[in-house]
Structure 1
Amino acid sequence: MKVACIGAGPGGLFFATLLKRSRPGTEVVVFERNRPDDTFGFGVVFSDATLDALDAADPVLSEALDKHGRHWDDIEVRVHGARERVGGMGMAAVARKTLLSLLQERARAEGVEMRFQHEVRDPAELDVFDLVVVCDGANSRFRTLFADDFAPTAEVASAKFIWFGTTYMFDGLTFVHQDGPDGVFAAHAYPISDSLSTFIVETDADSWARAGRDTFDPSTPPGASDEKTKSYLEDLFREQIDGHPLVGNNSRWANFATRRASSWRRGKWVLLGDAAHTAHFSVGSGTKMAMEDAVALAEAMGEASRSVPEALDLYEERRRPKAERIQNSARPSLSWWEHFGRYVRSFDDPTQFAVSAAPNVT
């Protein structure tokens, strides 16, 4: 049997490893258009409950978090100059680049073939494979190419967000609400190593426009960051991050899109991770969902080992309801974050605001 994975993100690498381990005779090839060390974004975060589930398949994630990541139990909400802590679930985070490096090592050790800097342009190139796993992210090219079969949809939020890192070290998951001359901006922040934190900034469309953040040319090649926004936010959040700099990595404003597909499969082709579904980052990690997809698909391939169509049906039957529950839980949270500025202004009491915010940040 020959299996191709399009995309060397955490979901694709994890699935390739699990399948190769359970079926050593299978030829598993991962195609990735970027180089091994290329990665956009900063950290990935997981709840303790997620870690327990993934550990049963492979402890690589827990090992990464134990050796290289950070763990916390409480959530901190900063608003009106006050800092309020709210009891939450245990969570941990690690640098995305670190996790990818460890997953590449795991896949290589199992005998997975990885072809970096290899973009699959013609689907016919994959005709020799018995299964093609499409795990090329939220902007999946193949989901779009086969739109008649996958029937993808996208609900685009009005709020704007941009992803940075910072050398300021947060204690754990922290939500910083900063009222400035142009409106209210909020940061979703958490530590991912001993020297870096993720710093995702979100704001409403009106504040974004008043701040003049629409000057960056989005047609620039991937990799370039919006340096004017970086300077603006460093100044706006200066006191909150003790004057530390922000770190860019393909950092540019975007609108979050909740993506779905009416079908996750097309013959021997199947969607996995962000290519199949997305949920706002306030309630779930795309990496978490992708790795859970990988476990489910590997298990389905094991149970229906003689029939790829049967395995893909089993995978979608089991995973779709779970993914949709996360997406449905994200709807009210996403709405809250689209309009959080009015909540910041409505609640004079920081404690009252923190209690209001807490259900929408986990």
Structure 2
Amino acid sequence: MTETQNEYREESGAGNHYRTAYHQGLEALLARLQKQSDGLRKQLHKMLLERPEAFRRQIRQSLGWPLTEKREDVPTVKREYVASDETTDIYRMQMEIQPGLWMYGILFLRRSEEALPLVISQHGGFGTPELCSSFFDSANYHDMTRRILRRGVHVFCPQLFMWHAELFGNRPYDRRAFDDRLKRVGSSITAIEIDGLQKYLDYFQTAPQIQPDRIGMIGLSYGGFYTMLLTALDTRIRAAMSACFFNTAQAHDEFSDCFWANSQNCFQDAELAALVYPRRLWIDAADGDELFPCNMARAELERLKAIRADGWDGLRFRIFKGVHEFPIDDTGIEYVVQALK
């Protein structure tokens, strides 16, 4: 008789309940840590209110390089003329935000003898500057950029690393997998793009056609996230509108590129929004949003109100009738542009 004939064997699922118990324990552990994070964030609210620049530094540390370094001189910019209409000249722009890394965008420059305000119009997931600017049809932008432009301001539409690869690029990619690789080396895709947007702000503040102290930002979905984050970190943004993003961390769970080292213990959407004070911030949520439910946006609003318990005249929160889309009325756009005039 060989030794293997006496070895113990059992059904493949005999140990499953041990694995289930382990899994349940991990879920319970995470739930405890997440509950603890609520208290840890509250401990930082005093810093947010009394020392906002220190809180901003903490956020930049969480997002990673290059936000942890001082920006140097304005990088090299290339501008290519595209077209003109009755009021506006359109240019494609590229800026070398890091050596060999050219961040792209479209600039709508109104013809005017006087300098005008600038509004950044930020597309969302799978989007492009062309898509949110009605160069061709879109299902949910509703002429966003052109409606901003009609308010008598210049508009800049940056391209983020989130376009639909099959429609708008010839090279497939995975944003979140790329972000994971960046995080291993102390950076993140958000840090790189926020840094790039800030460098564009540096450039526009030197442009004679633009009023350097009158810059706003409006974005949908992911663009609403970037709008809120950039406005929180950079006080040069005088007024902002974030549509269909503001929500609880639970609603953003699947978006790993919206979380960073220790970030949930430091800030979520309410904390970012609170950093915009005392500037103007318009937050839109849709009653039929299939990605970010409006009831969870309301819950995050209550946290924001608790942080800013002394009040905030510049804050507006609205639930509009619609789905995951840019609102079809101009109320939020007007609110931003009024602050720039």
TM range (shorter): under 0.3
TM-score normalised by length of structure 1: 0.23
Quick one: higher RCO (CA 8 Å, sep 6+), 1 or 2? 1
Larger Rg: 2
